Amino acid sequence: MRNNMSFDLKRHGEKLTTINPVIEGAAPDFALTDLAGQTIRLSELTKPVLISVFPDINTRVCSLQTKHFNLEASKHHEIDFLSISNNTKDQQKNWCAAEGVDMTVLSDNGDFGRAYGLLMTDGEMSGKLARATFVVKAGQITYHEILTEITDEPNYEAALAATK
């Protein structure tokens, strides 16, 4: 389900692009491959799902976001945590190995970004995912945060609270 709400995305206050993401209703299903080669399909996950989305794991804020959710994933086995970026699997594997991250990290070839309306289409960030978090329960989006300033970290506590 598309909403009528658009978000202007900025970096350090300068507008990059406008997106119109899916933020409520049925969560678009997706199937992405994890670093071990296993296909992860949203519709097959039975626990609440916290989806962390970011453009590039090799940047400071994306790295902080992934490390924070990895720490939470180690404490909250009642939640499925998914981290999704545009990085290649090799980039993700190398970063995870260097940082000691063992959560589910998925590489998006653009299909997820298009389905969720999170793909930036203008300028230097064209083709990259917007920074966002979602909570999906029983196939429904029950929480979203679209970070309009892409250099900001998400509200980790609110996302975790929304999984309850």
Which residue among 22, 62, 125, 162 is the active-site one? 62
First CA to last CA across the chain, in angstroms? 23
Cα gap 142→144, rounded to integer Å: 7
**Using DSSP, how many helices (H) and how many strands (E) does the chain show?**
4, 10
The answer to whether residue 62 is catalytic is yes
> Which amino acid would we find at residue 124?
E
User: Cα–Cα distances in Å, from 76 out to 46, 50, 107, 137, 154?
Assistant: 14, 11, 23, 15, 18
Active site residues: 62
